Amino acid sequence: MDTRSNNHTLAFDVTHRLVLSIAIPMTLGFMTTPLLGLTNTAVVGHMGDPDALAGLAIGAMLFDLIMGSFNFLRASTTGLTAQAYGRRDQHEQQAVFWRALISALGCGLALLFLSPLLIAAGLRLMGAEGSIAEATSTYFSIRILAAPAALANYAILGFVLGRGQGNVGLLLQAIINGINILLSIYLGLSLGWGVAGVAWGTMAGETAGALAGLFIVLRGFGKAERPARAEIFSRHRLPSFLPSTATSLSALSC
């Protein structure tokens, strides 16, 4: 007899209150994102170097363009987690999380490997030269180090949203953006690191958010529902992430 669904907390019913409990916290969380751009612009702007400001803008745009290619990680994780949660299947919820996290980390490592090609292509595409290209390369080469953590945050956020935990999503966004803003100001202005300081601040925020998210998610996992490695890497389940992963990586490498 399969007892997987007998030990689970009550799954949610889709109500207006539930939708708002997810939408409102996440809206508040994402409202802090524009503050990052304003803060970073203000920090680099205080340097009085227009080339550094242009390099920051180009580097941030390139990174956001690349990360946007992996939005499927968050969306697919949310959908698959919600399905398992609706079935009260905590075993499959854990399996979905690990598949998403492994896919995210794999994509992040691939981006690190491809980063020299990506920055070269980005500089050619934007026509950046001289000190602007140097500032762009400085920002991007540091920021790309956070790619595994940034994509892990996609998987973690997708998982908590799939479980209807909008408040957890808000907390994680606050951690990511708050640390980002504070360290960007401290490193960029107080220590005078400029563009590099802003990039390190952003990397620290993404990393702290990923670590906090892992702590919160793993703390809620029960050992009884822990999936076996063979289930996580099941050829019947893992393909739900792999097609989009392969498409995104192939598009970026072209």
pLDDT of residue 118: 94
Per-residue pLDDT band at 8 (split at 50, 70, 90) = very low
Query: How large is the average pLDDT for residues 46-55?
Result: 89
Q: Is the pLDDT of residue 1 over 80?
A: no
Per-residue pLDDT band at 57 (split at 50, 70, 90) = very high
CA-based end-to-end distance of the chain: 50
Per-residue pLDDT band at 2 (split at 50, 70, 90) = very low
Tokens of 59: 């580097």
Cα within 13 Å of Cα(16), Cβ side: 0
pLDDT of residue 223: 77
pLDDT of residue 48: 84
The residue with greater pLDDT, 36 or 90, is 90
Q: What is the DSSP string of 146-208?
A: GHHHHHHHHHHHHHHHHTT-HHHHHHHHHHHHHHHHHHHHIIIIIS--THHHHHHHHHHHHHH
Count of CB atoms situated within 10 Å of the CB of 122: 21
Q: Is the pLDDT of residue 59 over 50?
A: yes
pLDDT tens-digit profile of 124-138? 988 888 999 999 999
Count of CB atoms situated within 10 Å of the CB of 77: 28
Q: What is the pTM of this model?
A: 0.84
Query: How large is the average pLDDT for residues 157-170?
Result: 90
Query: How large is the average pLDDT for residues 130-158?
Result: 95
Write the CB contacts of 186 (distance below 8 Å, at least 6 apart in sequence): 197, 201
Task: Tell me if 169 sits within 8 A of 161, measured CB to CB.
Answer: yes
pLDDT tens-digit profile of 79-103? 999 888 888 888 888 999 999 999 9
Most confident of 9-13, 79-83, 214-218: 214-218
Q: How far apart are CA 81 and CA 163, in angstroms?
A: 7
Per-residue pLDDT band at 6 (split at 50, 70, 90) = very low
Q: Which stretches of the chain are DSSP H helices?
A: 16-31, 33-45, 50-68, 71-86, 90-126, 130-143, 147-162, 166-185, 195-219, 229-232, 242-253
Q: How far apart are CA 206 and CA 152, in angstroms?
A: 9
pLDDT of residue 181: 92
Count of CB atoms situated within 10 Å of the CB of 233: 14
The closest of 19, 52, 213 to 130, measured between CA atoms, is 52
Q: Is the pLDDT of residue 33 over 70?
A: no
Task: Tell me if 106 sits within 8 A of 27, measured CB to CB.
Answer: no
Q: Which residue, chain included where needed, has tokens 């070269």?
A: 120
The residue with greater pLDDT, 229 or 60, is 60
Least confident of 115-129, 201-215, 221-235: 221-235
